[in-house]
């Protein structure tokens, strides 16, 4: 039971908003020592864990080119492009992104889209541009919301698309674990097929929530201008004046 | 054969170059701490090659990781003034380039796609061109390099230091969030060798009443969800919850259809991934990348979907598997 203290450290750490690196570092050391590892083994575990998980950090390789393109106005152009499609509201655009992400992931193309390569440079500014066209300058709060939902569309699409693909890690983990532990024989195809009902639910539920986002944004962006006067709207407009993404890259 | 390790070296080299830029950036009040953090990360990426193939001890790397944790955790890292174009320059360049600017941006996904689908099958002299099992990572890496070349030609940018500075600003903005996913992967390993999984399995078994299939389904699904929230990914939760409830109770006692139970059990874990800061690469890093003030913004946007999908999964499993 005492090894569960590590879990407690994590929960308390995140709940009290300590620096996550420290929380995880302390939890790792505590759990390792309580679980009977020697200090040397614990340190080695940190090294081994780092070495074998480098793939999650490899997206850094896209940052120089994305940074260069943003310097030359990529986000501005993405915003302008979306305004040419009058029917494409923020919600509809993000729902479309969700569908595209889900379908490509289901075909095994998980790294074609992602937060660094498509959400930050393209999807998020486009989603913002669509709101700006319809409702005028965004407040800080509305901007946060649009960006958060852009990130969520990427995650939901990936998670509930990839399991429909046979050769993905999670499917292979299931068959590998069950077939060796219980000496049975499960086919990846059966598992992938049974991921489809949930995939459809995910598309309907999150897609529906994205479509509802338009109305929420409309309410939020029209209300403060009428209610608490110029304060928020002029602030938003002032920030917007030298072309809205000045914040996006310098803040 | 193009190996995944080569790309890790390239990423490590990029971190090291950026660390050198950081060390000389006088606008950053904490430039040496920042440079030390990213320099260690770069060195770690390269050194890891020999840790993975067991030809070098893991302890020095472990010490380096803990030093990075302290550097970032106790606030020794910071950010310099961003060197970028002004808003007017960006608008003018967007006018000039028009939609052509999307070409390099779309090069990354297109090349990744070509590598994942086409180059994957290509062989030269009986050897696959891309290391087997790493095609998608390599596709992303090759796509980024090709896109950088295309972009520099198109923008007539001669200095390689310009994209490096641009990328470095994004790294500095992300700060500690960059290391968190790898650190959490480590925590997952430590949790599993210390037997956290077995303990959670025992607790789950003890709260499980006999008889009701519906309650067992709910315990399995909710257990996958909660355990994933704690561990940060469903892969760690799956063997534990399946050994505790999924297989012995749902498959063996209640004669459920295993494929349905296990596939949906895993998806309950994915609902948990949507809801936890422990899944840093999906939830915390994007918040940093999108420069959100609220680092839990994406999680808040995902929570209602995660909850609704958990209920859907419980219903689908109960209706279809029995």
Cβ–Cβ gap A148/B297 under 8 Å: yes
Residue B83 maps to a domain? yes
Residue B62 maps to a domain? yes
- B216 in the same domain as B160: no
Residue B152 maps to a domain? yes
| Residues of A with Cβ-Cβ distance to B140 under 8 angstroms | 58-59, 61-62, 111, 114, 117
- B126 in the same domain as B20: yes
- B230 in the same domain as B108: no
Q: A83-127, pLDDT tens digit by residue?
A: 888 789 999 999 999 999 999 888 877 877 889 889 999 999 999
Residue B137 maps to a domain? yes
Q: Quote the domain boundaries for residue B52.
A: 1-178
Q: What is the largest CA-CA distance in chain B?
A: 72
User: Considering only residues 35 to 74 of chain B, which have any Cβ-Cβ distance to chain A shorter than 8 Å?
Assistant: 44-45, 47-49, 51-52, 57-66, 68-69, 72-74
Would you state the pLDDT for residue B315?
97
- Per-residue pLDDT for A227 more than 80? no
Would you state the pLDDT for residue A204?
97
Residue B184 maps to a domain? no
- Per-residue pLDDT for A240 more than 70? no
Q: Rounded CA gap, A50 and A33, in Å?
A: 19
Q: A169-224, pLDDT tens digit by residue?
A: 788 888 888 888 888 888 888 888 999 999 999 999 999 999 999 999 999 888 75
Residue B185 maps to a domain? no
Q: Rounded CA gap, B71 and B77, in Å?
A: 7
Q: Which of B178, B205, B225 is where one domain is finished?
A: B178
Q: Rounded CA gap, A113 and A128, in Å?
A: 19
Would you state the pLDDT for residue A224?
56
What one-character DSSP code corresponds to residue A167? T
Interface test with B, best of A44, A129, A149, A155 (most B CBs within 10 A): A155
Q: Which of B153, B178, B203 is where one domain is finished?
A: B178
Would you state the pLDDT for residue B257?
93
Residues belonging to chain B? 322
- Per-residue pLDDT for A241 more than 50? no
- How many structural domains does chain B have? 2
- Per-residue pLDDT for A245 more than 60? no
User: Which parts of chain B have pLDDT scores under 50?
Assistant: none
- B219 in the same domain as B140: no
Residue B183 maps to a domain? no
- B283 in the same domain as B134: no
Would you state the pLDDT for residue A225?
52
- B212 in the same domain as B97: no
- Angle between helix axes B280-289 and B180-193 (nearest 10 degrees) is 160
Nearest to B259 among A11, A62, A191 (CB): A191
- B156 in the same domain as B44: yes
In this predicted model, which residue has the larger pLDDT, A59 or A1? Answer: A59
Identify whether the C-beta of residue A124 lies closer than 8 Å to the C-beta of residue A154: no
- Based on its alpha-carbon atoms, the radius of gyration of chain B, rounded to whole angstroms, reads 24
- B226 in the same domain as B160: no
- B203 in the same domain as B151: no
Interface test with B, best of A2, A23, A69 (most B CBs within 10 A): A69
Helix, strand or coil, per DSSP, at residue B123: strand
- B203 in the same domain as B174: no
| Residues of A with Cβ-Cβ distance to B281 under 8 angstroms | 56
Identify whether the C-beta of residue B276 lies closer than 8 Å to the C-beta of residue A15: no
- B311 in the same domain as B208: yes
Q: Which of B178, B206, B239 is where one domain is finished?
A: B178
Interface test with A, best of B5, B58, B114 (most A CBs within 10 A): B58
Q: A54-83, pLDDT tens digit by residue?
A: 888 888 888 899 889 988 888 888 888 888
Residue B187 maps to a domain? no
Q: State whether ipTM is beyond 0.90.
A: no
Query: Mean pLDDT over residues A13-26, rounded?
Result: 87
Would you state the pLDDT for residue A235?
40
Would you state the pLDDT for residue B83?
72
The confidence band for A141, taking pLDDT boundaries of 50, 70 and 90, is: very high
- B80 in the same domain as B111: yes
H-helix or E-strand spanning residue B182:
helix B180-193
């Amino acid at each position: 039971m005492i090894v569960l203290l590590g879990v407690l450290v994590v929960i308390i750490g995140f709940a009290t908003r300590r620096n996550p690196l420290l929380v995880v570092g302390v939890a790792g050391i505590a759990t390792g020592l309580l679980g009977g590892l020697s200090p040397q083994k614990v340190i080695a575990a940190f090294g081994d864990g780092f070495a074998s998980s480098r793939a999650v950090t490899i997206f850094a390789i896209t940052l120089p080119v994305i940074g260069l393109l943003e310097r030359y106005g990529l986000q501005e152009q993405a915003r302008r492009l979306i305004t040419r499609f009058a029917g494409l509201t923020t919600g509809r655009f993000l729902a479309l992104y969700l569908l595209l992400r889900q379908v490509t992931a289901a075909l095994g193309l998980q790294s074609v889209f992602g937060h660094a390569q498509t959400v930050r440079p393209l999807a998020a500014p486009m989603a913002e541009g669509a709101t700006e066209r319809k409702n005028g300058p965004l407040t800080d709060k509305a901007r946060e919301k649009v960006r958060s939902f852009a990130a969520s569309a990427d995650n939901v699409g990936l998670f509930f698309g990839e399991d429909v693909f046979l050769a993905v890690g999670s499917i292979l983990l299931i068959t590998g674990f069950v077939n060796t532990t219980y000496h049975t024989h499960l086919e990846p195809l059966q598992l992938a097929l049974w991921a489809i009902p949930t995939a459809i639910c995910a598309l309907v539920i999150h897609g529906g929530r994205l479509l509802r986002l338009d109305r929420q944004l409309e309410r939020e962006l029209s209300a403060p201008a009428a209610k608490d006067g110029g304060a928020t709207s002029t602030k938003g407009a002032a920030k917007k004046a030298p072309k809205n993404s000045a914040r996006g890259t310098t803040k | 054969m193009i190996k995944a390790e080569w790309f890790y070296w390239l990423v490590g080299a990029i971190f090291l170059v950026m660390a050198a830029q950081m060390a000389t950036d006088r606008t950053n009040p904490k430039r040496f701490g920042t440079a030390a953090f990213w320099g260690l990360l770069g060195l770690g990426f390269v050194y890891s090659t020999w840790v993975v193939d067991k030809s070098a001890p893991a302890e020095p790397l472990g010490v380096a990781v803990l030093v990075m944790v302290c550097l970032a955790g106790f606030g020794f890292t910071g950010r310099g003034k961003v060197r970028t174009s002004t808003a007017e320059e960006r608008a003018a360049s967007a006018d000039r380039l028009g939609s052509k600017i999307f070409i390099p941006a779309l090069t990354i996904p297109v090349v990744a796609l070509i590598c994942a689908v086409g180059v994957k099958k290509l062989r030269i002299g009986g050897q696959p061109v891309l290391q087997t099992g790493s095609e998608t990572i390599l596709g992303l890496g090759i796509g980024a390099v090709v896109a950088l070349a295309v972009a520099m030609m198109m923008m007539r940018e001669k200095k390689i230091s310009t994209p490096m500075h641009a990328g470095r600003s994004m790294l500095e903005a992300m700060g500690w969030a960059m290391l968190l996913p790898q650190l959490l992967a480590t925590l997952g390993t430590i949790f599993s060798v210390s037997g956290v999984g077995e303990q959670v399995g025992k607790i789950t078994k003890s709260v499980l009443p006999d008889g009701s299939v519906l309650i067992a389904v709910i315990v399995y699904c909710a257990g996958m969800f909660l355990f994933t929230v704690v561990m940060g990914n469903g892969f760690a939760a799956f063997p534990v919850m399946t050994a505790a409830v999924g297989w012995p109770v749902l498959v063996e006692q209640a004669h459920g259809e295993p494929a349905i139970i296990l596939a949906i059990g895993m998806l309950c874990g994915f609902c948990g991934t949507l809801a936890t800061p422990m899944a840093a690469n999906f939830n915390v890093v994007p918040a940093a990348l999108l420069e959100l003030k609220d680092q839990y913004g994406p999680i808040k946007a995902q929570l209602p979907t995660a909850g609704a999908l958990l209920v859907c999964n419980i219903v689908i499993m109960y209706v279809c598997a029995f």
